[in-house]
Structure 1
Amino acid sequence: MTMRRDVHDELRARLQEAAAAHEPNRERMLARIERGMSEEARPDHRATRPPALGWLRVAGATAAVAGVLAVGGYAVASVVREEPPPTVATSPTPTPSPDATSRAPLPPDPTPDPTRQPSKESGEPTSPATTAPPTHTAKPPAAGEEDGPLWSDGSVDPHSNDFWAQSNVTLKTGEKLTGLTVELKVAQTGGVTSTGAWRSLPEDDFELTVGERDGFLVYTWTLKKGRTVPAGEWVFAGQYDHERGGRDAGADGYTATARAGDEVLSVAGDFARHEDDGEESDDSS
């Protein structure tokens, strides 16, 4: 590699010297051209070629001189220059496809949308009105003592006396209940105060609240979350004192709301005697 590089450098140095020493004699070339033209102009000169060929010869000589000067300058520039000029590659301009330029745009789909209705005022199609999903309505208040598998009854306990009484709410269910709320309302007829409450179901399964509201002593039992009431008959009782003598229970009442599966059940009643009772019930104490 070193020897080839030395030979190349020596050759380039000699070419540079030869190119620098070359001095074309421009005056001599022009004199030769003028001499040839003057010989053509003499009358005794016998023309061996047509005049047109003579002028072509003069033009060719002139072009040859110019070519020698150009080649000499190019040789000097090529030898002196250390590195070749960089070349820039250019990609040809893409020719547009006939399909892309001559194809007409697709017309819009004339098929109408069957779900759109024309507007009465503008005639333009309008989007169909969306119907709101039906909202879940709450179950109406209880209107009877029986609702599906749930049955109820209200009565004053026969062991009540002139100073004390107990009101019983009896529920019967043919299905397991996953929710249950029982409310007992005892009218304030004078001296009515709570002395306790109980239920035939486990005490820990319910939350009990007792208080006065709107002229009533109110007992409320609420089944705790995650607890259930099995099918069967169950009693919820509220105990209270009252003024001496017989007490009228005609204004007392109860309500019960239960859930069996996905169904909500609701019952309500009072403490009056029922026609199907086997015997007269004492509604006073």
Structure 2
Amino acid sequence: MMDELHRRLKETARAHRPDRERMFARVERGMAGPGTHPARAPAHRPASWFRVATAAAAATGVLAVGALALAAVMDGGADPAGTVATTPGPASGTPNGPPVDARDGYLRSDGVVDPNSNAYWAQSNITLSTDRPLTALTLELRVAQTGGVRDTGSWRSLPEEDFTVSVRPGTDALVYRWTLKDGVTVPAGEHVFAAQYDHAEGARDAGDDRYTVVATGSGRTAEVRGDFTAAR
């Protein structure tokens, strides 16, 4: 009986053609760590010689594939799951991109605290330069509420009647907005927008003041933004 079993096992092993994809899948599952356990076979169920032969051949194939995978890992070619080894990416603290600059194509800007500002009052100047005429323009300035900040006026080098101007006080900032009226065009060149305000006595810190400009020239929209340098 045992001789017959051995003879049939050898014949089955010689005729066996391993399913490589299934083997690799089994190796991956085995190396992935403990997972779900296969269902237990019913007790006292005798296995036929064919099942014994198949199990022996499959075990041989899995061991061979496992050895190849281990050799590949040690050689640095791939990880156990068959994934090509990669170089680590940049550290998580690396910025995703540069901040919005004070220049966008034909539009440029610069913010500065006016040198005539004093311990009770200040003026924030935004100089806007454009290489082409503008058919739309909105400029918003946020003056951080550092204490006692209160509107005292505003002006622009462009005609007053060409803009709608609003000032909106808030708990965290005093917001100025200049909006070009429909049908009006801003000529190419350099233009100044200024906001004036009182503030608590002493040197005021403009570090949290910000402005944003959105404009359209020759059908192209441009956006610039920035903060303010100290009075000069």
TM-score over 0.5 for the pair: yes
2:184 maps to 1:235: no
- Cα deviations by residue, 1:226-249 (Å, 9 ceiling, x for unpaired): 001000100000000001110000
Which of 109, 128, 136 does residue 171 from structure 1 map onto? 128
Letter aligned with residue 211 of structure 1: R
User: Contact 2:210–2:228 at 8 Å: present in 1 too?
Assistant: yes
Could you list the runs of 4 or more consecutive aligned residues of structure 1 that deviate by over 6 angstroms after TM superposition?
none
User: Contact 2:155–2:194 at 8 Å: present in 1 too?
Assistant: yes
User: Contact 2:140–2:178 at 8 Å: present in 1 too?
Assistant: yes
* SS at structure 1 position matched to 2:141: strand
Which of 206, 221, 224 does residue 264 from structure 1 map onto? 221
| Equivalences for residues 1-285 of structure 1 within 5 A | 143-213=100-170, 215-272=172-229, 281-282=230-231
User: Contact 2:145–2:171 at 8 Å: present in 1 too?
Assistant: no
Number of matched pairs = 134
Tell me the percent identity.
Answer: 57
Equivalent in the alignment of 1:35: none
Task: Calculate the TM-score normalised by the size of structure 2.
Answer: 0.56
- Superposed displacement of residue 144, structure 1: 1.0
Question: Which gives a bigger RCO, structure 1 or 2 (Cα 8 Å, sep 6+)?
Answer: 2
Q: Distance in 2 between matches of 1:179 and 1:270?
A: 22
The structure whose Rg is larger is 1
Q: Distance in 1 between matches of 2:136 and 2:156?
A: 16
Letter aligned with residue 243 of structure 1: A
User: Contact 2:149–2:198 at 8 Å: present in 1 too?
Assistant: yes
Q: Distance in 2 between matches of 1:244 and 1:229?
A: 38
- Superposed displacement of residue 213, structure 1: 3.5
- Superposed displacement of residue 214, structure 1: 5.3
- Superposed displacement of residue 262, structure 1: 1.4
Q: Kindly tell me: are residues 217 and 260 of structure 1, through their superposed partners in 2, closer, same or farther at Cα, counting changes over 3 Å? A: same
* SS at structure 1 position matched to 2:206: coil
Letter aligned with residue 218 of structure 2: G
Letter aligned with residue 282 of structure 1: A
- Superposed displacement of residue 282, structure 1: 3.0
* SS at structure 2 position matched to 1:204: helix
Task: Calculate the TM-score normalised by the size of structure 1.
Answer: 0.46
Instruction: Structure 2: give runs of 5+ residues left out of the alignment.
Output: 1-98
Letter aligned with residue 231 of structure 2: D
Instruction: Structure 1: give runs of 5+ residues left out of the alignment.
Output: 1-141, 273-280
